[in-house]
């Protein structure tokens, strides 16, 4: 890592992504909680922290919660990142957006960065955040992440949903990427030297969710059938832009197997 990890600060360090990052890079610093942030408070913290870079993971990441409380979503998911962007000066700022920005696209995908068309409050706020942050801070790096999983994890992710099922799994013919948190965390230092802009960021696949799930279960020697569910809107991303910058994720199907092996669910 070019940057000094002890001068890289992580917001939301107790969240799903934040914890994975702190596990991978224990020398990074935990930013204070920003739930009750104010512009002055953020400014004072950035000056006192002597930060070289800020990786901003703090957010309301629950799509349903954003729909129920759009004001809270606006404050956490647009105005807080914008405040960081306004006050970060020369510091590198890396922030998370989401594949949800593709929820309203008419094409089947995979989607490139220019295809965003959000169809829910969380997604609209993420896209608004991207635009306003880049206007305030053109060197900010915005990563559109997708559904992330790990085993173990502090909350139910895709892995728990599939492996702790009660004999019945329902999964539709939806095309979307899934990203192993450990792999995402390991790539984060590389994102600190990317040029400013928006990047699709995660593992890619040509398989639909039902096929991916079937593949994982068979790999683990499990017999459950994957039952059909209504297909969801595709969210799969074309990550060619980040690949062209030298950041390569494992294909989804391979990363799922590696995660399962790392968790001791299958011996080689």
Ligand X SMILES: NC(=O)c1ccc[n+]([C@@H]2O[C@H](COP(=O)([O-])OP(=O)(O)OC[C@H]3O[C@@H](n4cnc5c(N)ncnc54)[C@H](OP(=O)(O)O)[C@@H]3O)[C@@H](O)[C@H]2O)c1
The stretch among 2-10, 51-59, 204-212, 240-248 that binds ligand X (CB under 6 A) is 51-59
Query: E-assigned strands of 190-236?
Result: 197-200, 226-227
Minimum CB separation of residue 139 from ligand X in Å reads 19
Minimum CB separation of residue 56 from ligand X in Å reads 8
Minimum CB separation of residue 246 from ligand X in Å reads 22
Q: What are phi and psi of 146, to 5 degrees?
A: -125, -175
65 touches ligand X by CB under 6 A: no
Using the rule CB under 6 A, which residue among 88, 134, 145, 159 binds ligand X? 145
| CB-based burial label for 184 (10 Å; 0-12, 13-18, 19+) | buried
Closest CA to 246 of 211, 200, 204, 194: 194
- 217 token code pair: 């279960």
Closest CA to 200 of 99, 67, 66, 71: 99
147 touches ligand X by CB under 6 A: yes
Using the rule CB under 6 A, which residue among 42, 60, 94, 137 binds ligand X? 60
Over the window 5 to 44, marking each residue x when it contacts ligand X by CB under 6 A and - when it does not, the resulting string is: -------x-xxxxx--------------xxx---------
78 touches ligand X by CB under 6 A: no
Other C-beta atoms lying within 10 Å of the C-beta of residue 35: 12
Residues of the shown chain interacting with ligand X in the complex, contacts defined by CB under 6 A: 12, 14-18, 33-35, 57-61, 72, 76, 80, 96, 98, 145-148
């Amino acid at each position: 890592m070019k940057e000094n990890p002890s001068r890289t600060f992580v917001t939301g360090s107790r969240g799903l992504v934040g914890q994975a990052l702190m596990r991978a890079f224990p020398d990074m610093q935990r930013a204070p909680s920003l739930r009750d942030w104010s512009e002055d408070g953020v400014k004072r913290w950035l000056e006192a922290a002597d930060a070289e870079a800020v990786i901003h993971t703090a957010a309301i990441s629950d799509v349903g919660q954003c729909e129920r409380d759009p004001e809270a979503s606006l404050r956490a998911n647009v105005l807080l990142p914008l405040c960081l962007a306004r006050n970060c000066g020369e510091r590198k700022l890396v922030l998370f957006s989401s594949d949800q920005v593709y929820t309203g696209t008419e094409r089947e995908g995979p989607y490139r960065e220019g295809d965003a068309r959000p169809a829910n409050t969380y997604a609209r706020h993420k896209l608004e955040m991207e635009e306003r942050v880049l206007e305030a801070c053109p060197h900010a790096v915005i990563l559109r992440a997708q559904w992330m999983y790990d085993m173990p994890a502090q909350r139910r992710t895709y892995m728990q949903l599939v492996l702790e099922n009660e004999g019945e799994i329902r999964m539709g013919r939806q095309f979307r990427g899934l990203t192993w948190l450990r792999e995402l965390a390991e790539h984060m230092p590389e994102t600190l030297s990317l040029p400013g802009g928006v990047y699709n960021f995660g593992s890619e696949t040509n398989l639909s969710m039902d096929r991916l799930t079937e593949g994982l279960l068979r790999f683990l020697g499990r017999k459950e059938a994957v039952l059909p569910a209504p297909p969801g809107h595709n969210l799969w991303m074309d990550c060619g832009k980040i690949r062209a910058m030298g950041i390569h994720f494992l294909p989804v199907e391979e990363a799922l197997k590696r995660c399962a092996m790392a968790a001791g669910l299958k011996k080689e």
